[in-house]
Structure 1
Amino acid sequence: MGVNFLVVGAGAVGGYFGGRLLEAGEDVTFLVRKKRKEQLERTGLVIKSVKGDVTFNDPPLIEKGDSGKFDVILCSTKAYQLEHVLPDLTSFMHEDTVIIPLLNGIQHLDMLTRSFKKEAVLGGLCFIESTLTQEGYIRHTSSGHRLTFGEINGEMTPRVQMIAKTFESTNADVRTSTHIMEDMWRKYLFITTLSGVTTLFNTSVGPIRNSTEGLAFTRRLIQEISSVMQHSDTTNSGHFEEKAWKQFMKLSDETKASMQKDLEKKLPVEADHLQGYLLQLAEKHQVNTPYLKAVYTNLKIYEQSRKG
């Protein structure tokens, strides 16, 4: 018996991984807003990728209010969209539906487990450099396209194995994890740093690395975030710190965080979900974070000017 997927959103993340599932012949439907639905009906779902282009002229699309029950829900919205989407998901779930979130950060897990039964929610993350073009195409520009998921308690359960088997033939690097919370915290440290420095200095990684001051700021920001993480329910944040630094140093000069790309397009950003949530933890545990506050302040000023 096959697994049917509902992908929430058909943007740079959901559209990519959902498209790769479709390419492999899997049962996939995209839950999209009206404007995106109309766009996809005109253009099809188009992926332009260094790993191979693919186009689906008539991708399966549904909107809020439509019917259907799904085994796996891949939640790939932006964090600021999630609370508006959650009420719509209940009608698409059956007793054993599994939700795999692919959002950045950690805070969304609390939102999901408050809205649905805790055992329905897995941990998940992805590493991919992709963006949605003005035409609505998904442009994937680097070789990485990894998706990782697993049980929050670390067990390797039959349902995780079944979902993993479904992904086996996809043109994507899909992995299971028995330490998914560590994986999510590790990515949280990295993506908050990358999005923080590229938005603060309004540039790609190269000029930041080529500046003594930029490198020093980046290192200090990693250290601050790691200090906050030591008060979370995860461990080995010192190990995370060194890995994040090495990962940052290995990036191509042209790399920008998706948040920086959103900022350049004058789109909303996930400041509260990423940097803001860490600042809440820092205040709770009395951790001094001036560099993180500088990043967050810059993003909040951007949000204010954008609304203006």
Structure 2
Amino acid sequence: MPLKSVSSVEIPSELGRVAIIGAGAVGCYYGGRLAQHGHDVHFLMRSDYEAVSKKGLHITSPLGDVQIHVNAHQTTADIGPCDLVIIAMKVTSNAALLDLLPPLLHENTALLTLQNGLGNEEFLAQHFGAERVLGGLCFVCINRIAPGVIHHIAQGRINLGEHIRAPVPRTHQIAAEFQRSQIDCQVMESLAAARWQKLVWNIPFNGLSIAAGGVDTETILANPTLETRVRDLMAEIIQTAASLGHSLPENLIETMVTNTRTMAAYKPSSLIDYLERREVELEAIWGQPIRHAAQAGLTMPRVQELYEELKVKLTQSS
């Protein structure tokens, strides 16, 4: 597709001033879409700062390729107070948020975490106040393939919800602005249920991609033994969620497996971290659900087995 160059020119919106913390594939893709459609977006950039400052963000996508001129900063103090802070950094770096977030906050700043696993909203609520916190579950195939270059392969939906309450006007305002920015965004009545629904995909595919020897989703589903294990893991997660009061769609397993087949040879984010010797989000994606279930007197033997396999793999690679 021809490359379209876009300047980030602010237009009135319900989002106000937006900061992106965690400028990897997820942060750059969604932040880039917001900037592309006129929102006042500011990116905290580390390794990609020089490239993005000079050339902007480059998104390749089935929706059309685009080069977006964006506001890149090296510190959150340079960004200053914002109305919405979108957190897309790895869960393994959450401790850094204690220093990164304060310069971005004013009295009514909202914090939206797009991170994987369980416990992220609770972490933000503990340190910055529960009323600020929202969560978003991203169903998207994206990779960062070079500094400032994001390859969008398929999908892109965000399921959005409030941490401690049902949706309020700001929830719908954020969703509407996302939708206006070429982002499929659905408001969820229960963020906790949405988190467990995302785990139904993340636990088996991110986990087996590593445990099976560094394989992509196409390879997993081409192997009958691995596909059976995917389905068994999914069933256990759905049953656990139901026991915790989170009812998930009856056809979720078939829907997720069918959708994953359309991704072709997709490498999940945990596999990329593993192959590039970065820290994998082991506890947030696999450990926390097991512990969360245990607090309610529940066991997850299939997830536990995969968790133990991953601990061995990660120890061997370190």
Q: Shorter-chain TM-score: which interval? A: 0.7 to 0.9
Give the corresponding residue for 2:265: 254
Secondary structure (helix, strand or coil) at the match of 2:84 reads strand
Give the corresponding residue for 1:160: 171
Q: How do 1:145-294 and structure 2 match up within 5 A?
A: 145-153=156-164, 155-201=166-212, 202-232=214-244, 234-237=245-248, 239=249, 242-252=251-261, 253-294=264-305
Indicate the RMSD between aligned Cα atoms, in angstroms.
2.3
Give the corresponding residue for 1:18: 31
Give the corresponding residue for 1:141: 153
Supply the distance in 1 between the matched residues of 2:131 and 2:168 (Cα, whole angstroms): 12
Percent identity for Structure 1 against Structure 2: 26
Unpaired segments of 5 or more residues in structure 2? 1-11
Q: CA deviation at 1:41?
A: 2.4
Unpaired segments of 5 or more residues in structure 1? none
Secondary structure (helix, strand or coil) at the match of 1:30 reads strand
Which letter maps to 2:310? Answer: L
Supply the distance in 2 between the matched residues of 1:290 and 1:157 (Cα, whole angstroms): 38
Equivalent pairs, count? 302
Give the corresponding residue for 1:28: 41
* Contact 1:29 1:62 (C-alpha < 8 Å) held by counterparts: no
Deviates more, 1:54-63 or 1:20-29: 54-63
Q: CA deviation at 1:173?
A: 1.4
Secondary structure (helix, strand or coil) at the match of 1:28 reads strand
Which letter maps to 2:255? Answer: K
* Contact 2:118 2:289 (C-alpha < 8 Å) held by counterparts: no
Supply the distance in 2 between the matched residues of 1:230 and 1:182 (Cα, whole angstroms): 9
Supply the distance in 1 between the matched residues of 2:79 and 2:57 (Cα, whole angstroms): 22
1:105 aligns with 2:88: no
1:82 aligns with 2:94: yes
Supply the distance in 2 between the matched residues of 1:52 and 1:27 (Cα, whole angstroms): 22
Q: CA deviation at 1:5?
A: 0.7
* Contact 2:19 2:41 (C-alpha < 8 Å) held by counterparts: yes
Give the corresponding residue for 1:71: 83
Give the corresponding residue for 2:53: 41
Which letter maps to 1:19? Answer: G
Q: CA deviation at 1:287?
A: 3.9
Q: CA deviation at 1:58?
A: 4.9
Supply the distance in 1 between the matched residues of 2:195 and 2:55 (Cα, whole angstroms): 34
* Contact 2:211 2:313 (C-alpha < 8 Å) held by counterparts: no
* Contact 1:127 1:146 (C-alpha < 8 Å) held by counterparts: yes
Give the corresponding residue for 2:5: none
Which letter maps to 1:223? Answer: A
Change in Cα spacing, 1:32 to 1:244, as seen in structure 2 (3 Å) is farther
Normalising by structure 1, what TM-score? 0.88
* Contact 1:145 1:173 (C-alpha < 8 Å) held by counterparts: yes
* Contact 1:193 1:222 (C-alpha < 8 Å) held by counterparts: yes
Change in Cα spacing, 1:220 to 1:303, as seen in structure 2 (3 Å) is same
Supply the distance in 2 between the matched residues of 1:168 and 1:28 (Cα, whole angstroms): 16
1:116 aligns with 2:151: no
Secondary structure (helix, strand or coil) at the match of 1:266 reads coil
Q: CA deviation at 1:214?
A: 1.7
Supply the distance in 1 between the matched residues of 2:34 and 2:229 (Cα, whole angstroms): 40
Change in Cα spacing, 1:294 to 1:207, as seen in structure 2 (3 Å) is same
Secondary structure (helix, strand or coil) at the match of 2:182 reads coil
